[in-house]
Structure 1
């Protein structure tokens, strides 16, 4: 088995150390390590993190291979430092059966750039009317543990309760897209001053907050686990904080774009800023950052949502909602959380690797950088600053809101079970 010696890396941002990889595992971590015949990577003080885990990725395959495939999406993931991603169920056909989730899982295994764990739909066809085959998907080769109708809300309280009861039996989790549909009919952006001035339909904060409030109470009643997808408002933070104070089994995620961007950008009418949930206010952004720092929000998840050119390069009303984010997530987190002093690199590892792996039960991922652990790692040049150029992305789509923006940090290497998937910023 081949060996790799990473020399002089700041493990989780600490003092420089050497890390020796032997085959698929970390053999040793310490100073002055050597190994005859090992490939040497000079880290020169770069930060070494456990491989990142994304609990919320849209890979689009099957059905929308024009926007992304499992291959292109996992190549984008490796470029961004990810070794495991959870693929959302809103494909065509919907991932609501054992057959579809196994197809996605096997494609991930076949391509080998990162592990792919399918997320199963909560309801048949994402229609919100009838529970999908949750047990069959869990018992399949894919071993699904996370279920979501993301893109749509499980708005029927009785169905949500039944789903929470069902997954409790095997320790699963329901990941809710919190959006009361009756309150967001015709919504195109955040409801507030900017939407009023622009004359665009508003997406009120209460549409998110009311569903979260309902679902944490249902989770408490059932004694089951609920995860809140892409939390975006200051009010939602307070509800989750209250629920955790009661011991309710709730976790929550925030996207990089909701940590950085605000609804003021919609004044450009550029559809690249059209996303669901929408970009919110500066007050919301600051509340989300503080909640991620204090642990109220558990993790960062990308909600990587690729779309082909024709679905975004059009008038605002007709444009699809969503942004890509796998290749820029770590840079945005550095900009908003590390460079502002809200998190250190150990905190980033916690929010982008340890906790998402634990919530999604991603075996072998989110592990300490120590001897005997799987060699799922990412090396980051934190001193780098550069402008985002989507022409160099591995993703099939280019709908990034950061084009031309200067961001810090650059992933230079990614290892999946000891195999380099990214070397010197280039995919292997």
Structure 2
């Protein structure tokens, strides 16, 4: 083997202590530490101090807000939060202002990202499925794909017109891309602010029932079967949806799905006390739903984990439950929450690598570091024992709206390398 340009010693890859060899921004290989000791110290000889080694993660569901809502988040602040959260690629949704439904908006997002973060993280825009997200007419999907969009979604505004949704799947498939569907029947969910059930009745809050989600999950699965065209199901929140997805996968249908950290960690009781920071859409469900989702992630029924990063300004959230916008700011805290699930033996480090890097890359045809020779050297060092208090000063996102606020989390990204160069350090 030729001499590497640099070596990162003493890191934990999955469960094994390893040394990472890097040359000219690419991976040369991973070797056991005893082999690494035989390598003469190099000019770039780094000590990983026993941190977890992870590939740069992919977040397939992020709201960067810019253009048009820079008071909530900018591309610059969102990407800085991604860096600090361990994400080297983010797929940003189209519900900006103006909506990302034509090439000029896509190009603006990509150009702004390159100006503010030339090293990365890399932005992967998701184009609007319909013009203005209005659900009436398909957006110019070919134009958006040529401009750099990697998928299409009406996220935030579900498409109720079944024929239009069918045509969107067909058109996207012709372009070699996928539709990401926000599964919800708004005639059932209405203006619900939490999960519909006993607790919503006790609190006197309008609830959103699980059936509003699962009806659209079933619709999408049937269309995927009939058309033999892939569909990706966004932010799954309940066990009934998991049951539908399991049947689809057992039949070999081209259906993939995601869920978020908040649906694996918290349940509807977080809303008690009218906690507007726990207001998210779809809502936090029951403990039974949480356990079902955990099993689904572990077994691969749910393919990937995303943040659904939805930053809001403080003044927007500090109002009544009815008026507060939905959403949790998740880029800063997601990896710490996943690490808590590893400590609780719900997931493994390998599960995090698979669900947050490898599978998103496979589903959306993105590059990813598998630590194979020649891979781009995008990687994260994560200290699982680093305790930090979630407060405005410790969050890099402009949006501070998280139920974690004021709590202590264990686990923090201590370094993030892109193309072998240090892009972020704690």
TMscore range, shorter length: over 0.9
Match of 2:131 in 1: 124
For the residue of structure 1 that corresponds to 2:50, the secondary structure is: coil
- Cα distance, 1:37 vs. partner? 4.7
Pairing 1:39-118 to 2, within 5 Å after superposition: 39-110=44-115, 111-112=117-118, 113-118=120-125
Q: 1:154 aligns with which of 151, 159, 164?
A: 159
CA distance in 1, matches of 2:314, 2:150: 33
Are the aligned partners of 2:60 and 2:90 in contact in 1 as well (CA < 8 Å)? yes
CA root-mean-square deviation = 1.4
Q: How does 1:2-401 map to 2 (within 5 A)?
A: 3-11=5-13, 13-30=14-31, 31-32=35-36, 34=39, 37-110=42-115, 111-112=117-118, 113-140=120-147, 142=148, 144-336=149-341, 338-363=342-367, 365=368, 367-401=369-403
Which piece of structure 1 moves more, 2-11 or 400-409? 2-11
* Residue-pair matches, total: 417
Maintained 8 Å contact 2:29/2:371: no
Structure 2 length normalisation: TM-score? Answer: 0.95
Give the deviation of 1:36 after TM superposition. Answer: 5.7
Q: Secondary structure at the match of 2:30?
A: strand
Indicate how the Cα distance of structure 1 residues 192 and 24 shifts in structure 2: closer, same or farther if over 3 A, else same: same
Contact 1:256–1:302 under 8 Å retained in 2: yes
Question: How far off is 1:42 after superposition?
Answer: 1.2
Gaps of 5+ in 2: none
Once the two structures are superposed, residues 196-240 of structure 1 have per-residue CA deviations (whole angstroms, 9 ceiling, x without a partner) of 111111100000000000011101111111111110001000000
Instruction: State the shift of 1:54 in Å.
Output: 0.2
Whether contact under 8 Å (1:84, 1:362) holds in the other structure is: no
Rounded to whole Å, the distance in 2 between the matches of 1:421 and 1:58 is 22
Structure-2 separation of matches of 1:229 and 1:207: 14
On the 8 A contact 2:7/2:42 being kept in 1, the answer is no
Q: Partners of 1:325 and 1:156 in 2: how far apart?
A: 31
2:389 and 2:314 map into 1 onto residues whose CA distance is: 21
Separation in structure 2 between the aligned mates of residue 399 and residue 362 of structure 1, nearest angstrom: 29
Measure how far apart 1:40 and its partner are.
Answer: 2.9
1:413 to 412, 415, 418: 415
Cα separation, 2, equivalents of 1:329 and 1:38: 34
Q: What SS does the corresponding residue of 1:200 show, helix, strand or coil? A: coil
1:232/1:284 contact within 8 Å kept = yes
1:105 to partner: Cα distance: 1.6
Tell me the CA shift for residue 383 of structure 1: 2.5
Counterpart-to-counterpart distance in 1, 2:150 and 2:399? 28
Q: 1:256 to 1:215 in 2, by over 3 A?
A: same
Structure 1 residues 52 and 35: alpha-carbon distance in aligned structure 2, compared to 1, 3 A threshold: farther
Q: Distance in 1 between matches of 2:45 and 2:317?
A: 43
> Does the CA-based 8 Å contact 1:391-1:398 persist in structure 2?
no
Deviation of 1:384 (Å): 2.6
User: Aligned partners of 1:409 and 1:219: how far apart in 2?
Assistant: 39
Gap change, CA 1:58 and 1:4, over 3 Å in 2: farther
Mark the CA change 1:339 to 1:24 in structure 2 (over 3 Å): closer, same or farther.
same
Distance 2:135 2:72 in 1: 25
What 5-or-longer segments of structure 1 have no aligned partner? none
Please give the secondary structure, in 2, of the residue aligned with 1:413.
strand
Q: Secondary structure at the match of 1:318?
A: coil
| DSSP-derived class of the 1:347 partner | helix
C-alpha displacement of 1:407: 2.3
Q: Distance in 2 between matches of 1:330 and 1:24?
A: 25
Instruction: Note the C-alpha offset of 1:122.
Output: 0.3
